[in-house]
Amino acid sequence: MREKAPAAPSTLPAEALFAACDETLLPFATTAELPAGGDIVGQGRATEALRLALGMKAAGYNLFALGPSGVGKFTFVRHAVEKAARRWPTPPDWCYINNFAEPHRPKALELPSGRGRPLQQEAERLIEELQQAIPAAFETDEYRSRKSAIQEQFKERQEEAFSALQAQGRENDVALIKTPMGLALAPTKDGDVLSPQDFEQLSGEEKQRRQDASERLQKQLEAFLREVPRWEREQREQLRTLNRETTQYAVGHLIDEMKKHWEDLPAVLDHLEAVRADVIENVEDFLPKEQTPQILIAAAAGRAPQGPIANPFRRYQVNVIVDQQQRGNGDSAQEGAPVVYEDHPTLSNLVGRIEHIAQFGTLMTDFMLIKAGALHRANGGCLILDVRRVLMNSFAYETLKRVLRSGCIRIESVAESLGWSTTITLEPEPIPLDVKVILLGDPLLYYLLSAYDPEFSELFRVAADFDTRMDRDAAGTQAYAQMIATIARTAKLKPIDRGGVARLIEHGARLVGDAEKLTTHADTLESLLREANFWAGEADAGTIGRAHVQQAIDARTYRSDLLRARIQEEIGRGTLVIETEGARVGQINGLAVIQLNHFAFGRPSRISCRVRLGKGEVIDIEREVALGGPLHSKGVLILSAFLSSRYAHEQPLSLNASLVFEQSYSGVEGDSASSAELYALLSALAEIPIRQSLAVTGSVDQQGRVQAIGGVNEKIEGFFDICVARGLSGEQGVLIPAANVKHLMLRADVVAACREGRFAVYPVETIDQGITLLTGIPAGEADEKGGYPLGTVNRAVANRLARFVRKAVRLAREADGGKGNRNAKSREALR
């Protein structure tokens, strides 16, 4: 089949180099006339994903919003979630109350929204009233008389038993006396206690009678002394019963009155009954304490119990950890469900914490020191987190997954997770969780988590992929203008006139590197608008115009282009050799892009090629010294395939070629220079010089088709700046892939030079078109037999490769002939 060469391309017209914004699509004088808008533009996929995640009630349908930083993920997600959350029911309040049976396990109490704070306040008032009512009840005459009666009854019983013992002793001449060591028995005579000497003078019968009586009385005394503690216990029990009755009378009506307000909440009623029982059981806490000398000395020395933990009435309080006022991350609470963004997602900030107070050298805590986390505040609504910050905080990611799997919030610290906690702590009752979690992050983190964490895809089933660009059509242009107006209004900037909006739209296309698209990177637009607003203020302008936007763009470029200026300076001084006139064999100007943070610029590079007879190898010197990346190496390997498929169908490719980026001292990556390297290789083979006034970019496939590359605008402008510095002759230009024409958004000075014929941009579809432009000699079209016409580049290349083959065959035959002669001489010598 005969191969037909495409016609040589012509110079692109100036209109194709820059797609100006049609201001007729902007029907307003300034953005002040545009209505306020809240929806982000160009994110249809993300909008649908978010709608699905918020609408699904099944477990695991949490959302991961992925996209580059600054594309507006947070603003868009928060606005959409808050809009949806207004229609959701308001979640309940959550409190922690004391567990009187197991104080180290506080109970979680769920209350309807807005009722947590009233319960807390009523509990405070109840404590105050109890502190007044109970002491007053114990000061009444009735209580005192009943207490005196109990005490008198015990005293009378004790005295009666003691008197009976004394009477029995008198009958048997034995006295019951009190000594410093307690009660003792002593013999008597005529009512007087006998001394040891007098006792010895008694007869044996008298001694024995008194001894027997003493033994009987001793047993009775021991029985009496054993009964005294029982009587004391009975007295204490009677006093305790009296205290309970008195306390019940004092607190009963207070708690019963409070219960009337909470009849619809059985959990609160149960808690109030538990409070009643504990107050009755521990009524001593409400009564005045006797200030003993030891207590007074400790208080003077500062060692007496102090601080909130020492307050015995804390156990009756209510700890409202989250209610409508506490939700919203400090913002004013909105109607409906909460939307919380946690910017510091540590473990404790997510699931809450239990605070401690130092007391007597020990860290103490109670249920009132339980603090809510972001999950508590967002419960019933949405929690928004930055996934990178979550992953950077120890245990935060694993804890978040555990909470979502279990469906409840369990408070624990890092020390507890590691088993390091040695202080007294609590085990609060877990709180049921119903929340939508939305993670914001880069696409790389999303795909890494999806690949290496099997639980991630089960918990975050929905991905909202934020696009970095949108269509630049009539509808897209008007939506973009609305977005610009919204940004300016939100940032409280000056209105932007029609020309300023048009320039921002043009720059939005330049940023995305496509004349038919617009960038959706809202952060970049906002920062540019702020700078344009500054320049408009410097000029005392009432609105931001095209000139102010352009001034902001130029100022931003100037602040960032020091390295570009230094490279161009060294090229101008001849330190870096770049030729822009004349012609050279095997040498061409390639174009590369250097990216510095958000600033990119093009840099010309001199690519040279040398060929000789060899074994069909195209050596990439950059790869040999480990400066070439895999994509660049791939592009060079394609060159061998192209040469073989075009020029070596029925013969070996007997050449050795070397390609190198001259004066390159850093890594080279990408295949955008492969077409330039192929042109240099063809020039070296054909021994036809290449015009140095032209620079080349574009990748190439094995069929010789030139393919699109990135950074085409920066590459063209990089070579243009060098040519301007040396003087535009009208011969300079750049060859770009034809597929990149739709991406052109060149600077105004480049467009003007092309319009005036002082610079040119050529769209190239094939290597044949490019080599024709670069050499001024036709590439040549193959005939039916695969031959090329005389006077063409392809014919010269084919002839050179054929000579390599013939020479290789001749050398091989000579080598074989020499070997045969040596073998013949050896055989002759053996004879």
Show which residues are catalytic.
672, 715
According to DSSP, residue 315 is labeled G
């010309």: which residue's tokens? Answer: 604
According to DSSP, residue 139 is labeled T
* Cα gap 229→305, rounded to integer Å: 32
* Cα gap 308→364, rounded to integer Å: 10
* Cα gap 660→624, rounded to integer Å: 10
> Taking the C-alpha atoms of 63, 67, 70 and 71 in order, what is their torsion angle to the nearest 10 degrees?
-90
Hey, what amino acid is at 14? A
Q: Where are the beta strands (DSSP E) in 664-785?
A: 689-691, 694-696, 699-700, 706-707, 733-737, 760-764
* Cα gap 343→340, rounded to integer Å: 10
Query: Are residues 667 and 628 in contact, defined by beta-carbon separation less than 8 angstroms?
Result: yes
Residues whose CB is less than 8 angstroms from the CB of residue 341 and which lie 6 or more positions away in sequence, other chains included? 74, 78, 329, 383, 384, 385
CA distances from 360 to 299, 305, 367, 396, 411 (A): 13, 8, 19, 33, 26
Q: Would you call 831 helix, strand, or coil by DSSP? A: coil
* Cα gap 160→168, rounded to integer Å: 12
* Cα gap 421→146, rounded to integer Å: 51
* Cα gap 735→698, rounded to integer Å: 8
Residues whose CB is less than 8 angstroms from the CB of residue 391 and which lie 6 or more positions away in sequence, other chains included? 397, 445
| Buried/exposed code over 705-720 (b: 16+ C-beta within 10 A; e: otherwise) | bbbbbebbbbbbbbbb
